[in-house]
Amino acid sequence: MKEKIQRKTGICRILLLSCLAVFVMLGWGGSAECAEKIIFIPHDNRPISMQQTAEVVEQAGYELVMPPEDLLSRALEEPGNPDGLWKWLEENAKSAQAAVVSTDSMLYGGLIPSRKHEIAQVKIDERVKRFKQFHDKYPKLRLYLFGSLMRTPKSGIYSGNEEPEYYNDYGADIFRYTALKDKEEMGHLSAQEKAEMKEVRQRIPSEVLLDWMNRREKNLSATKQLMDLTKQGIAKCFVVGRDDNAPLCQTHKENRELKSYAATRGMAGSQFKSMTGIDEFNLLLLTRAVNDLQNEVPFVYVLYNEGTGADTIPSYSDEHIGDSIRDSVVVAGGMLVPEPGKADFVLLVNTDPQGRTGEASFSVPGSAPMVNDGNARDGSMYFFDLLKDCLAKGYPVGIADIAFANGSDNALMENLWKEGLLGRLRAYSGWNTATNSSGFALGTGMLSNKMTDAGRERLLLRRYLDDWAYQANVRGAVENELRMAGHAEAYGRLDGFRTEEENRVGALLREFAERNFPSFNGWQNLKVSFPWNRMFECKIMF
């Protein structure tokens, strides 16, 4: 195991070579002066949803006011407290200039609870109306809302225990049935597919499908009410996310309904967006709030790898990545420009030339069509040459690393290390889905000119430790170790293993750092925790 980690983390040496200088320089703060105060209510307390998002905006010099974590969704089985959040919001609204608020938290208790709740429609409607009452009481507060359409995972395995328990048994059939229903509604269903749809439907218990669809109807109803309120002016912007969906599925079907509803209401694109993704909306709307407060419209230029590029439809998405990024720029308050020389931020998007999306943890040759073993693939050098050219011309460059989902592209990171370019980026992200990563990189990059050099480098360090060292390398190795020991279930639920794995992963990261930087003493304080009792995400403290 130790040798395997050494091989895997050998490519991560980039991280630490660039980060030694970072630690020496770090003042651990953002800009010297704090401009305005922004309220931030995320959809849960996962590190990426809350602390890591807040850290970006704080490094840009803004004070974020966040609710106590015991009011937020804190784990798969721990919903937040909507009534407590409403009370907290009103108590803090007087001293803030803007608020970015998760409607899932305010209506259901969080993103995950929105998929499992048993809340009556009348209660949800009451909570929706509170947004109007809140705006009437604080009309000068700039309000930005984000929520989600309920997702449609491909199966129980893909759901990650975030759906009702019956999804483990019937998730694959529900996904397939709704995909066929979606296709039928668009008028493209063959006779063979009609027969298949009938057969799949018979395998799903009626009470299961009824429960699943009823909850979705509540979600659609609440979303339309919030759209109406946004049209009336209670919010500057309302963004609805399509998390974990596909080109054919129930989420895709419902999205058509929402788009039609928006069209009938005459809602402008800057006022309402339905977009693939969800976790990145935190940062995109916080970036929008900052830009609106400063009356700024950052110019963004986007450049893709060779091949499919902007037309890539990544895994966990139902649309071209170029469309997702275009919408993300608009939501964040920016504008796309046709030339990099006119841009305030240049985003380079690391896609696979064939339009595929690999999984970052697949690092063994032959285990998948795309393996993340650090060796160059088609497009690797082309993309790296694009990056070097942009940096040589002095452009403010960031990277959306989306060739692989759920972790960094090891071949890209190794090239960055070899050429000493890690510290020259304005932003980097490669942590989850393509839209999560591209949106997070956009938000960070659009705010980067407000940060100190040390602030930008701290954010890069955070992403390199999380997306690259942990997600693309250590996580997969430790998961395989657990699986070989007969504890595969621990990856999704660490009951009985949590402390052991926190110590194990922390030791692996510290061991790597100390082996490569024996003269620096700061790494002994690096610690890891798994706040959601699973290995999918971790909190790295340094």
Domain boundary, last residue among 293, 324, 343: 293
Whether 128 and 240 share a structural domain = yes
Whether 350 and 224 share a structural domain = no
Classify residue 191: in a domain, yes or no.
Answer: no
Give pLDDT tens digits for 79-100.
999 999 999 999 999 999 999 9
Classify residue 196: in a domain, yes or no.
Answer: no
Give pLDDT tens digits for 389-428.
999 999 999 999 999 999 999 999 999 988 989 999 999 9
State residue 26's pLDDT score: 35
For range 237-249, the mean pLDDT: 92
Whether 418 and 439 share a structural domain = yes
State residue 370's pLDDT score: 93
Higher local confidence (pLDDT), 162 or 521: 162
Nearest to 13 by CA among 410, 524, 506: 410
pLDDT at 366 over 80: no
Whether 238 and 115 share a structural domain = yes
Give pLDDT tens digits for 443-459.
999 999 999 999 998 89
Whether 302 and 401 share a structural domain = yes
State residue 420's pLDDT score: 87
Nearest to 162 by CA among 478, 536, 539: 536
Containing domain of residue 384, as a range? 296-450
Domain boundary, last residue among 293, 314, 349: 293
State residue 38's pLDDT score: 98
Give the number of domains in the chain.
3
Nearest to 423 by CA among 38, 21, 12, 3: 21
H or E segment at 429? strand 427-429
Q: Is the pTM of this model over 0.75?
A: yes
Tokens of 377: 């693939």
Whether 90 and 231 share a structural domain = yes
Whether 354 and 488 share a structural domain = no
Q: Is 255 helix (H, G, I), strand (E, B) or coil?
A: helix
Whole-angstrom distance, CA of residue 459 vs CA of residue 398 = 12
For range 504-510, the mean pLDDT: 89
For range 112-123, the mean pLDDT: 96
Give pLDDT tens digits for 37-72.
999 999 999 999 999 999 999 999 999 999 999 999
Whether 321 and 241 share a structural domain = no
Q: Is 278 helix (H, G, I), strand (E, B) or coil?
A: coil
Domain boundary, last residue among 293, 311, 342: 293
Higher local confidence (pLDDT), 318 or 312: 312
Classify residue 85: in a domain, yes or no.
Answer: yes
Q: Please list, in sequence order, all residues whose beta carbon lies within 8 angstroms of the beta carbon of residue 78, skipping any fewer than 6 positions away.
A: none
State residue 508's pLDDT score: 87
Whether 517 and 439 share a structural domain = no
Classify residue 445: in a domain, yes or no.
Answer: yes
Give pLDDT tens digits for 276-300.
999 999 999 999 999 999 999 999 9
Whether 323 and 382 share a structural domain = yes
Whole-angstrom distance, CA of residue 281 vs CA of residue 43 = 10
Classify residue 487: in a domain, yes or no.
Answer: yes
State residue 313's pLDDT score: 96
CA separation, residue 460 to residues 468, 474, 494 (Å) = 11, 18, 29
The lowest-confidence range among 156-160, 301-305, 437-441 is 156-160
Whether 388 and 498 share a structural domain = no
pLDDT at 331 over 70: yes
Classify residue 102: in a domain, yes or no.
Answer: yes
Higher local confidence (pLDDT), 489 or 12: 489
Classify residue 160: in a domain, yes or no.
Answer: no
State residue 368's pLDDT score: 80
